Amino acid sequence: MIRVGIAGIGFMGWIHYLAYQKVEGVQLVAVSEPNAKRLAGDWRDIKGNFGPPGEMVDLSGIAQYADYHQMLEDSQVDLVDLCLPPAMHADAAVAASRAGKHVFCEKPMALNPADCDRMVAASAEANKLLFIGHVLPYFPEYAHALKLVREGTYGKPLGGSFKRVISDPLWISDFFDPQRVGGPMLDLHVHDAHFIRLLFGMAQAVTTRGRLRGEVLEYFNTFFHFADPSLVVSATCGVIDQQGRPFTQGFELHLEEATLHFEVGFYEDAAEQMPLKILTRDGKVIRPELGDGDPIGAFVDEIAEVVASIESGRPSPTLAGDLARDALVLCGQQTVSARTEQPVTV
């Protein structure tokens, strides 16, 4: 049994808490949170752009710490799940590794590549595993697409377009602070940057155009340039001012023998979805069965991989720190490209 402690009880801490209830081989034994109300189990003020709102949580039998450093000293904790603000990820991950813990850190891995390097080095020196919570490859539509690409079912990838757009997240006061969260680039697009990295390898350059809000990009479009010039890959991401559509995501993925298409939008009055479809060269439209659509299921699968990796002692091919660092590098260079209005090498 792998014993886990969650550091930080906000939206992602709540989602991870729900997922841990459904994963075998892992037990939540500790939480750390400086907010006394939440540390006492009152999570009713937690909200996000998917999943259920926070509730009253019974933390009896679970150790409670106001400071995550105290939790790192708990010998009952094998794995530290970092759901802290992004600016805290690097220092907390390094401290956890040095305390002899495996680390599961929410995305973005950090706010700059140098901090990513510190995290990777600390876990290697401690002979512990580091996982970065890029959950997108575990959502059913993305998981199915990744599986088809990895298995070569419809030939090699030719490219694709990816979308991730939200209304202004008014409940996150520092969302556009580059030193704390990083805006849409690091909070949203880093998902697609990571997925693009998994599908196509590392891009050689990026060309980005977008609108700035302060020091960060508010809304942008990017073309990714690869060693193979036949790969045509683009992404759209950002924030719109209209609160009626809190979130939308989707992709169109082009393979030699098929095109995959998926999109979902969450509106104030309803959710609208174009389920994943596989359009084959011979004219068929395949609609794969992908489960019940519960978004918590993706986090269950993600954490199950963390557990399996720790039990086997082998790094995850999807959640490894080097891949997450590559995604962050892609994000940083896109911002440079938008500011300079020039293509930028990666």
Measure the CA–CA gap between 81 and 2, rounded to whole angstroms. Answer: 12
DSSP assignments along 249-288, one per residue: EEEEEEESSEEEEEEEEE-SS-EEEEEEEEEETTS-EE--
CA-based Rg of the chain, rounded to a whole angstrom? Answer: 20
Task: Kindly state the tokens that stand for 290.
Answer: 């992908």
Domains located in the chain, CATH noted: 2-133+300-319 (3.40.50.720), 136-292+327-345 (3.30.360.10)
pLDDT at res. 292: 79
Tens place of pLDDT for every residue, the chain, 346 residues? Answer: 999 999 999 999 999 999 999 999 999 999 999 999 999 999 998 877 677 888 999 999 999 999 999 999 999 999 999 999 999 999 999 999 999 999 999 999 999 999 999 999 999 999 999 999 999 999 999 999 999 999 999 999 999 999 999 999 887 888 999 988 899 999 999 999 999 999 999 999 999 999 999 999 999 999 999 999 999 999 999 999 999 998 999 999 999 999 999 999 989 888 899 999 999 999 999 999 998 778 899 999 999 999 999 999 999 999 999 999 999 999 999 999 999 999 999 9
Task: Kindly state the tokens that stand for 83.
Answer: 């759901």
DSSP label at 174?
T
Residue 27 one-letter amino acid: Q
At 244, is the secondary structure helix, strand, or coil? coil
Measure the CA–CA gap between 138 and 286, rounded to whole angstroms. Answer: 20
